[in-house]
Chain A
């Protein structure tokens, strides 16, 4: 057996099968194999290179868009006013959904969407896919369906807990306004694509939005990223710090809203401004809206107007501060200079003009301002002259925009001299034939409050990109308008308005204040006549010696005077603002007396210079008293604006009420109570009607 192998070998050798030949056969086979492999390689790498490259790129390489997070908006102390946070959006592939009716039910329950609509969309997508297959064409948009975008975190958490593998979550940035309606007109809103469409969001959209980047990413089979190359660097948006003080803004909006609702004003504005720097501490507008919600069908058309900036109106008597300032600068008139008010009548270029309210004889110029005498203002305007008056109107910043970075700012209207009529000098002196915004009024008042320079309103303090350098906004150089002594004289005269004139409701406890009231009739464009509705305004500052704030308040479409409707708003806002700013008190803490007769605040300016307005409608009684220092009730519970509080609180009557009713009433009125016992209220101390000190509790005995 062993011998057989040797014998066979010997036979093969004898037949001529040399080992080299066998090697040649092997080499040939290897070469053939190599040629086959090479051909296959050529086919893969050269012939079909493009196809396979595309397939590989499609599978491994992804170009992703890197969203640049939109910058936040802060108030001056860093409180968030607007912020973008990624929110979950829910999508499905209808073709992958195992049971569409059940899926629609689940999603409708979890996300609050319309089940029928969702099911119809899913069915339509599946049907489209089926038809596309039949017709051998590419289906259109059948593999992706948005269910609900930018859902709430609770909704996302609930849906995730169901672990539905056919539900896809995608992150999308969502803009939040944590304070709701607070400063909504200033901050503005964004649309669904995060593009600003109102307020600062619109004006600074480019800065806030940043620039999106691109990243090409290499992934493995499981789509896990291995490496990425940034092809375009994403630039996050700038964060903006405003000069707005959240607390002051809240107070301004609260008081303005209360007053507007109480006096049925169609709209209103409040501007709180630092007269030295021009920084806007608060800018409130009424009606308000919640920027977190899309516009409702029943939302008032004007709800999203930024009234302090965009809506100009005839300012009325508040404009007399410009007239008198011009008089002090250009004439020899002094506060004590007697002005002949003609007992309420003046013959102006052949037209007899009557005072719209109480007629005065000859009174000092300071009293012309204090009592808002229209005839006196006309006399002073005539003394100043058209040219000088117009020059100072412009110097005070009227007729041109302030430059505040908000969209749709109105420049107001100031006509050139060539368009003035014969009696225009009288109208302009009283604040007619011109129009101005509340912001312009605050700016003009700041000229007087800060010593005579025009300081442009500032809304933006600084900007910063994430991780970047802080860029402080530079304030434009102030312009001298009045001599310092003129400004001080004007302050004293405006203090007289508050102490003995039409602005008594603006007196503060603990602080001196000055200001000017205004009540301008509203012109009806349809009937071409002035109506008996007014723009009630008050512009003022406090304290008088070194003003810390300037506040301009306007209520549009009211039937009362500015001294009644707007001055109390000034008082409330100024009191809170001065406390928040820690401004030292400059007079003893004495609660000023209430406005005895609203007619004391009658400062209606003569609108058409020929037909004096008829008497105002019967004035309603002052609203319910609420303590200025007590917490304001919730808006829904407001019985009347706390801004018109003119006396201390008094103990209400709780007798005969249950514990619950007493507590609800006490909370609504801001009067703390101490509950003793249970059952029905039998006794209380102090008794009903007794004056209460701030914070004093009413002890109620229940049996």
Chain B
């Protein structure tokens, strides 16, 4: 490890010439040098303020054109692929709706069937019996209108 004493000592001596090391002298306090200890870094300030890029309109135009072409190709690709993608999305949606429709149709049929079973005359008759309902007294039934034709002969004329 380089010590402070060694650092200052090394700076006081002139640089070695022809591969001769400056540690040739007897110095019991010196340590073995580190690898690449002779590499020094320093900061060099470069002033590029006076460097100006040469104006190249053709290159600029090519760059812009290339960019535009890239966008155009990308847009075209998107335009080409978008319908297919939308079609797939719509397909999923349509089939989901179709399945919903079928389910609702089946549900409606099941409800209609249940309603028909509940309105079955035999069931109503049993319920009426349980509730002790009776048919109305015939004397209380007054027919105000007849849905039937006035006469058999009239019906005959109509059919003819």
- Interface residues of A, Cβ cutoff 8 Å to B: 79-80, 83-86, 153, 171, 176, 178-180, 182, 218, 224-228, 246-247, 250, 254, 275-277, 449-453, 455, 475, 477-478, 484, 487, 509-510, 546-548, 579, 581-585, 589, 629-634, 666-667, 670, 672-673, 693-695
Q: Are B91's CB and A80's CB within 8 A?
A: no
A487 to chain B: which residues have CB within 8 Å?
152
B interface majority secondary structure: helix
Q: Are A83's CB and B133's CB within 8 A?
A: no
Please pick, from A631, A634, A673, the residue contacting B134 in the complex, using a CB distance under 8 A.
Answer: A631
Given A277-B155, A478-B160: 9 more A-B contacts, CB < 8 Å? A83-B112, A179-B121, A228-B95, A276-B149, A451-B152, A453-B156, A478-B156, A509-B138, A632-B125
Please pick, from B87, B112, B116, B136, the residue contacting A227 in the complex, using a CB distance under 8 A.
Answer: B87
* Residue on B nearest A672 in the bound complex, by CB: B132
Interface residues on B, range: 35 or more
* Residue on A nearest B106 in the bound complex, by CB: A86
Using known A-B contacts A176-B113, A182-B121, A477-B159, determine if residue A451 contacts B129 with beta carbons closer than 8 Å: no
Using known A-B contacts A79-B116, A227-B91, A250-B121, determine if residue A667 contacts B143 with beta carbons closer than 8 Å: no
20 A-B pairs within 8 Å (CB atoms) are namely A79-B116, A79-B119, A80-B113, A179-B116, A179-B121, A226-B88, A227-B91, A276-B155, A451-B156, A455-B159, A484-B156, A510-B138, A582-B143, A582-B145, A589-B138, A629-B138, A634-B126, A670-B129, A670-B134, A695-B136
B120 to chain A: which residues have CB within 8 Å?
178-180, 182
Task: State the CA gap A171–B132 with chains docked (Å).
Answer: 42
Give chain B nearest CB distance to A455 CB in angstroms.
Answer: 8
* Residue on B nearest A695 in the bound complex, by CB: B134
B113 to chain A: which residues have CB within 8 Å?
80, 83, 85, 176, 178
* Residue on A nearest B117 in the bound complex, by CB: A178
Q: Are A633's CB and B116's CB within 8 A?
A: no
A629 to chain B: which residues have CB within 8 Å?
134-138
A548 to chain B: which residues have CB within 8 Å?
146, 148
Please pick, from A179, A478, A579, the residue contacting B141 in the complex, using a CB distance under 8 A.
Answer: A579
Give chain B nearest CB distance to A466 CB in angstroms.
Answer: 9
Please pick, from B112, B145, B155, the residue contacting A451 in the complex, using a CB distance under 8 A.
Answer: B155
Task: State the CA gap A129–B160 with chains docked (Å).
Answer: 73
Give chain B nearest CB distance to A266 CB in angstroms.
Answer: 24
Q: Are B129's CB and A634's CB within 8 A?
A: yes
Q: Are A451's CB and B141's CB within 8 A?
A: no
B130 to chain A: which residues have CB within 8 Å?
667
Task: State the CA gap A461–B12 with chains docked (Å).
Answer: 127
A449 to chain B: which residues have CB within 8 Å?
152
5 pairs of A and B residues whose beta carbons are closest in the complex? A451-B152, A178-B116, A250-B121, A80-B116, A276-B155
Give chain A nearest CB distance to B52 CB in angstroms.
Answer: 29
A85 to chain B: which residues have CB within 8 Å?
106, 109-110, 113
Q: Are B87's CB and A484's CB within 8 A?
A: no
